[in-house]
Chain A
């Protein structure tokens, strides 16, 4: 736990303990990569996932990275906020190489541009997708499904 004490000291109260197994830190977007590097050096050497949360009313995306320290049996959520228009982040594959596919997903599902990841932007799950990125809040999934995928009507009989 010496490393956790050290991290708490350098982040001066910004590193919050949600429960004994989980920590949370919110950093400005310029510090995101350096925060991840700091956590990696201090025993958090597994990246569990990177994802985004769409805060449409505040016009912001929240990027969330979940790191795990096997040594201390502890999770940490590293969060940062970026602007929703022309959303763009730097790749974190140089720190955690497993982030590659998660960044592809950020581009495909949220339309967040990832600079430095050459796979991001190529279609992975949504081939021939011509609409908005589907996990953005303004995307209407019900209307899209009704328009593109023909439904079976209950009164129709096929026996």
Chain B
């Protein structure tokens, strides 16, 4: 058997990774209330290999559950940068997509994808546990196909993301 080249190695790693996703659920807002039934025996997302995790250094998925206000955004960016590659960002609920019902708020940043590379959005206010599980199955498919490349986009467009973050945080 010859040596694997990098592409083949990545394909095998992606196959393995997609069945073992550790999720850091950054509970910014009300959406977090849908996660306990998703995690526990009713919907049991552990059957797909997804485990809630408490530290950023060991997590693969950053699940941003709800509106992102300017104080929270700074913490989310720090948490995201602490995570190790490969890492995936999932925006949960309509607040991360377009601000949701907080569209006129003085403190809520409306779009998550300007500040972090979002791999997947889950629409809804708020999404049901079935939607969360379905999104994670979709994320697994994206990882398998090599399309969940948010962490590479973050590196490639680092200055663009940083400029957006600085602009909204007023630094």
A157 close to B (CB within 8 Å): no
A58 close to B (CB within 8 Å): no
Q: Residues of A contacting B111 with CB < 8 Å?
A: 149-152
Stretch at the interface among A33-41, A59-67, A126-134: A126-134
Q: Residues of B contacting A127 with CB < 8 Å?
A: 70-71, 74, 169-170
Asked whether A151 lies within 8 Å of B103 as measured between CB atoms, the reply is yes
B15 close to A (CB within 8 Å): no
Asked whether A125 lies within 8 Å of B71 as measured between CB atoms, the reply is yes
Known A126-B71, A141-B104, A141-B105: A152·B170 in contact at CB below 8 Å: no
Known A126-B71, A127-B71: A144·B106 in contact at CB below 8 Å: yes
Q: Residues of A contacting B106 with CB < 8 Å?
A: 131, 134, 139, 141, 144-145
Known A127-B71, A128-B169, A128-B170: A145·B98 in contact at CB below 8 Å: no
- Interface size bucket, A side? 10 to 19
- Distance of A127 Cα from B73 Cα, bound (Å): 11
Asked whether B168 lies within 8 Å of A151 as measured between CB atoms, the reply is no
- Distance of A125 Cα from B75 Cα, bound (Å): 13
Q: Residues of A contacting B168 with CB < 8 Å?
A: 148-149
- Distance of A152 Cα from B97 Cα, bound (Å): 8
B114 close to A (CB within 8 Å): yes
Asked whether A151 lies within 8 Å of B107 as measured between CB atoms, the reply is no
Q: Residues of B contacting A149 with CB < 8 Å?
A: 99, 108-111, 168
Q: How distant is A151 from chain B, measured CB to nearest CB, in Å?
A: 5
A142 close to B (CB within 8 Å): yes
B8 close to A (CB within 8 Å): no
- Distance of A145 Cα from B110 Cα, bound (Å): 9
- Distance of A141 Cα from B99 Cα, bound (Å): 14
- Distance of A139 Cα from B171 Cα, bound (Å): 22
Residue in A closest to B98 when the chains form the complex, CB atoms: A152
- B interface residue numbers (CB < 8 A to A): 69-71, 74, 97-99, 103-111, 113-114, 168-171
* 10 residue pairs bridging A and B, Cβ less than 8 Å apart: A125-B69, A125-B71, A125-B107, A126-B107, A127-B71, A134-B107, A142-B104, A149-B111, A151-B98, A151-B99
